[in-house]
Amino acid sequence: SKGQLCPLLSCSLPRSASALPQIYADPTKRLELYFRPKDPYCHPVCANRFSTSSLLLRVRRKTRRQREVLGPEPHPGAMFDIEILGIISTVYKFQGMSDFQYLAVHTDAGGRHMSMYDKVLMLKPEKESFFHQELPLYIPPPIFSRLDTPVDYFYRPETQHREGYNNPPVSGENLIGLSRARRPHNAIFVNFEEDEVPTQPLEAAVQTWRRISTNPTDRKVEEELRRLFEIRPVWSRNAVKANISIHPDKLKVLLPFMAYYMITGPWRSLWIRYGYDPRKNPDAKIYQVLDFRIRCGMKYGYAPSDMPVKAKRSTYNYSLPITVKKMPSQIVTMHDLKQGLGPSGTPGTRKATSNKYKLKDSVYIFREGALPPYRQMFYQLCDLNVDELQRIIHRNDGAETCCTERDGWCLPKTSDDLRDTMSLMIRQTIRSKRPALFSSPAKADRGKEPLTYESGEDEEDE
């Protein structure tokens, strides 16, 4: 009806007609509708894109009033002309709230609302008196919502306000943890303070792995992982993924079948073979974990923006309200489902997919002259393939007295010494690959320093 079309006639779709083809060409763009096109602060109503199978019709109603009166009341005769103009495959639907905007208004004593834009908006250079004029206090909110569709909060009454309610006793089961809930993969988690370590997996872990290992490839991967734990009793997840090729979802089930997970202490975030207790064996010193983070700042010769190793994710990398983030379509293959032979079942297909999920060894091995793939790395001490780093680790060989939660079997501050040495090596590597960052004399002198230890006091403790 005309009443439904009039609001659209008085507003504006994208402010430039040329923007319509660009929005249609990009599936992630949303169509914007401005109710006040001349207002630069007007918040648009956004329409989402949907696929459809519809027809575009043109319907004409031709009326002709009969001259002769037939009956007590005259009635017009109508004829409809219908024409199919085309097929519609895409539609845009405005599902958000049209009045969802924050306006800079002031309410006077009489209850009348006045806009403050004309008083605070600078369209030309103003004199000093402009900044000293009396204006009502206007403080915008610290953050704005990025969602324009209302949702239900499902408010529920406070439990402790109910009649007859008693607070539960303070225990681990009733306390809210600081981390997310454990995934149901039947893994055994061990703290550093616990006295004993498990010697065998949970029965549920055994049954789960037996249920999903349905082809010879799974049996082969199981034997490969068992061989890895015989050679080395402690492994990180990345180290395992760099030595065997297995689907990540199946690895989540296979690891609890082979090892338990340490969540605190010098072997935290590592998988340890059942029955092996690194706290009772000084030789387990080489399997301890080192949390290493690439240092940046002017004191190290380069700013964060100049660091060759880019951040894995950014706080500012998010979708704007006028865009839609859609996951790309993925083709599911039989290799993904069963991790067996390819569709053709030929040896060539099996060879091409044998290393599909394997990672590069740089994700867990540190080498001099090579940059880590990420800004934060978790290395095991045995994977630091530099002689100088190994000398730091083995300074107290044969003299280990006790295993502490911070340093394990190593001397105190060993982790700090390792980080300082590794930071200098990385700094020299960056200087050799990007000498422009150290072009100034002061930076060049600092880059030529020998491998002496820098202070790590400003670094976070583990």
Fold designation for 1-60+79-122+129-155: Phosphorylase Kinase; domain 1 (3.30.200)
State pLDDT tens for residues 325-359: 655 555 555 555 555 444 434 444 444 446 788 89
Of the ranges 4-18, 42-56, 147-161, 253-267, the best mean pLDDT one: 253-267
Please give the single-letter amino acid code of residue 367: R
Where are the CATH 3.30.200 domain residues in the chain? Answer: 1-60+79-122+129-155
Three-state secondary-structure class, residue 48: strand
Is pLDDT above 90 for 418? Answer: yes
Q: Is 0.75 topped by the overall pTM?
A: no
State pLDDT tens for residues 214-250: 889 999 999 999 999 999 999 999 999 999 999 999 9
The pLDDT assigned to 260 comes to 97
Of residues 285, 296, 236, the one with CA closest to residue 394? 285
Three-state secondary-structure class, residue 407: coil
Instruction: Give the pairing of strands 45-64 and 31-33.
Output: antiparallel
Q: Residue 153: which pLDDT band, with cuts at 50, 70 and 90?
A: confident
CA–CA distances in Å: residue 430 to residues 290, 293, 303, 434, 454 = 21, 15, 12, 6, 17
Which residues are CB-neighbours of 192 under 8 A, at least 6 positions away?
A: 262, 264, 265, 266, 267, 268, 279, 405
Burial annotation 329-366 (CB, 10 A radius, 16+ → b, else e): eeeeeebeeebebbeeeeeeeeeebeeebebeebbbbb
**Element spanning 198, H or E:** none
Answer with the residue of higher pLDDT: 117 or 423: 423
Q: Say if CB 324 and CB 49 are below 8 A apart.
A: yes
